[in-house]
């Protein structure tokens, strides 16, 4: 069989692991796919290459396909999220100065309490808090906004959100450009190791089940290459399943460290893969529940309700008609293709394609195609619940 070449863009982050594992452990080859991984210097560059058809698929921030489809980021292009590649995995960190000022208010970080951290943050005496994120259309920005705007002391003038490329986040904190950041691993750990920042929260403490990265492709490519697209999805699904097996984690770190694709040392990869984060230099590692995972609890399923949540935020930022944005956004999270293309793997699928986001405080059994499937937890720190079907 001739191998079908698929050019897939990615950024060198830990959560590109499903793509690297799909290639290195030959899950892609098993599907007759020659998976070419093409490293990109920025999300903008990756987006433009995808829109122009220079790459076939891409590791993307979960809001990117919707932002592109809605014409808000680069050339307006119908881009779909075929599956979720990773759930959670971000960290919030503050400068040493801000950490000390927060402590003066009586706050003591337990790396788990968003409400208390926000109170300390707004009481710290810092007039405007400058926060770094990796891209304007990112889950990082959505989590920060959900977290901070829920606080009674919040005012839009109290925070300034700035995009800084992740590898430079630590430097931006060190030179005083930023007071705080929300970033994916390994860049939070890197800032701690350099002694410039302390981590105060995992992203998962704000939302327990945030779709972080997705596999994106243009609708044109998907329609023109149905077989290749299905094979690619199966290969990546199997890679995520492999990654979430505890016994595979040491080997995963080894493969990722040796791979030319992300070019990071063991110590940078280890914390995120094992979910053991050192929040302060010299502190003991903590293990936040669900810090980063790739497959568990139907993690790969592209829920239409996740798309609706993301679309609602983009509509607010960009002044779009919320109903239209939600309709087009939901259509770009392809739970239909997920069902059709992965059914041959014999995996269990959720019975519905939308859920009430934020409703599950604990792992819960729900109806599935094979009986029962464990979902969640997916609660927000403030108990917020988003029922998009009820709104329709």
Partner 1 sequence: MDVALKILVVEPDATRAQDIIDALKDGGWGNVFIVSDISALAPKLTEIDPDIVLIDLAHPDRDTLEHIGHVSHAQSRPVAMFVDRSDAELTQAAIMAGLSAYVVDGLQKNRIKPVLETAIARFKMVERMRHELDAAKQALTDRKTIDRAKGLLMNARGINEEDAYSLLRKTAMDQGRKVIDVAQALVTAADLLG
Instruction: Outline where 184-303 has alpha helix (H).
Output: 187-193, 219-224, 226-243, 249-258, 266-274
Closest CB to partner 1 among residues 66, 117: 66
Determine how many CB atoms are found less than 10 A away from the CB of residue 66: 31
Token pair, residue 152, equals 């009674």
Closest CB to partner 1 among residues 114, 184: 184
Q: Are 8 and 235 in contact (CB under 8 A)?
A: no
Closest CB to partner 1 among residues 38, 286: 38
Q: Are 42 and 10 in contact (CB under 8 A)?
A: no
Q: Are 44 and 74 in contact (CB under 8 A)?
A: yes
Least distance from C-beta 54 to partner 1, angstroms?
A: 7
Closest CB to partner 1 among residues 38, 359: 38
By CB under 8 A, name the one of 3, 26, 30, 54 that touches partner 1: 54
- Give the count of residues interacting with partner 1 (CB under 8 A): 28
Closest CB to partner 1 among residues 163, 368: 163
The stretch near partner 1 (CB under 8 A) out of 74-82, 223-231, 324-332, 355-363 is: 74-82
Please tell me the distance from the alpha carbon of residue 332 to that of residue 286, in angstroms, as a whole number. Answer: 36
The enclosing H or E element of 81 equals strand 79-88
Residue 75 binds partner 1 (CB under 8 A): yes
Rounded to the nearest 10 degrees, the angle between the axes of helix 139-149 and helix 304-318 is 70
The enclosing H or E element of 157 equals none
Supply the DSSP symbol for 283: P
* Binding pattern for the stretch 189-208 against partner 1, x by CB under 8 A and - elsewhere: --------------------
Residues found in the chain: 392
**Which SS3 state, helix, strand or coil, does residue 109 take?**
coil
Residue 316 binds partner 1 (CB under 8 A): no
Determine how many CB atoms are found less than 10 A away from the CB of residue 36: 14
By CB under 8 A, name the one of 136, 211, 275, 350 that touches partner 1: 136
* Binding pattern for the stretch 95-134 against partner 1, x by CB under 8 A and - elsewhere: ---------------------------------------x
* Binding pattern for the stretch 148-187 against partner 1, x by CB under 8 A and - elsewhere: -------------xxxxx-xx------x-x----------
By CB under 8 A, name the binding residues for partner 1: 41-45, 48-49, 51-52, 54, 71, 73-76, 134-136, 161-165, 167-168, 175, 177, 317
């Amino acid at each position: 069989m001739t191998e079908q070449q698929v050019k897939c863009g990615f950024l060198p982050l830990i959560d590109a692991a499903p793509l690297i594992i799909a290639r290195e452990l030959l899950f892609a080859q098993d599907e007759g796919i020659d998976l070419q991984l093409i490293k990109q210097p920025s999300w903008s560059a990756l987006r433009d290459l995808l829109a122009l058809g220079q790459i076939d698929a891409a590791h993307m921030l979960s809001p990117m396909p919707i932002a592109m489809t809605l014409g808000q980021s680069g050339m307006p292009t119908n881009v779909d999220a075929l599956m979720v590649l990773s759930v959670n995995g971000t960290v919030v960190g503050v400068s040493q100065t801000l950490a000390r000022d927060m402590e003066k208010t009586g706050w003591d970080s337990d790396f788990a309490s968003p409400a208390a951290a926000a109170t300390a943050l707004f009481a710290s005496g810092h007039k405007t808090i400058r926060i770094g994120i990796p891209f304007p259309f990112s889950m990082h920005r959505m989590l920060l906004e959900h977290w901070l705007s829920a606080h009674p002391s919040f005012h839009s003038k109290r925070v300034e959100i700035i995009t800084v490329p992740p590898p430079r986040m630590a430097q931006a904190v060190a030179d005083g450009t930023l007071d705080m950041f929300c970033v994916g691993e390994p860049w939070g750990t890197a800032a701690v190791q350099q002694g410039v920042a302390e981590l105060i929260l995992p992203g998962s403490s704000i939302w327990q089940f945030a779709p972080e990265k997705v596999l994106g492709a243009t609708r044109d490519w998907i329609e023109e290459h149905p077989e290749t697209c299905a094979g690619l999805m199966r290969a990546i699904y199997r890679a995520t399943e492999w990654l979430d097996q505890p016994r595979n984690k040491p080997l995963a770190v080894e493969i990722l460290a040796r791979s030319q694709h992300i070019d990071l040392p063991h110590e940078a990869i280890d914390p995120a893969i094992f979910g053991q984060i050192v929040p302060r230099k010299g502190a003991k590692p903590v293990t936040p529940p669900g810090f980063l995972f790739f497959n568990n609890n139907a993690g790969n399923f592209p829920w239409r309700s996740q798309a609706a949540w993301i679309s609602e935020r983009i509509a607010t930022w960009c002044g779009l008609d919320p109903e239209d944005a939600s309709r087009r956004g939901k259509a770009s999270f392809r739970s239909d293709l997920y069902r059709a293309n992965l059914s041959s793997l014999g995996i269990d699928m959720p019975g519905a394609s939308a859920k009430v986001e934020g409703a599950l405080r604990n792992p819960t059994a729900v109806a599935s195609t094979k009986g029962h499937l464990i979902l969640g937890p997916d609660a927000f720190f403030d108990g917020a619940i988003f029922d998009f079907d009820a709104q329709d």
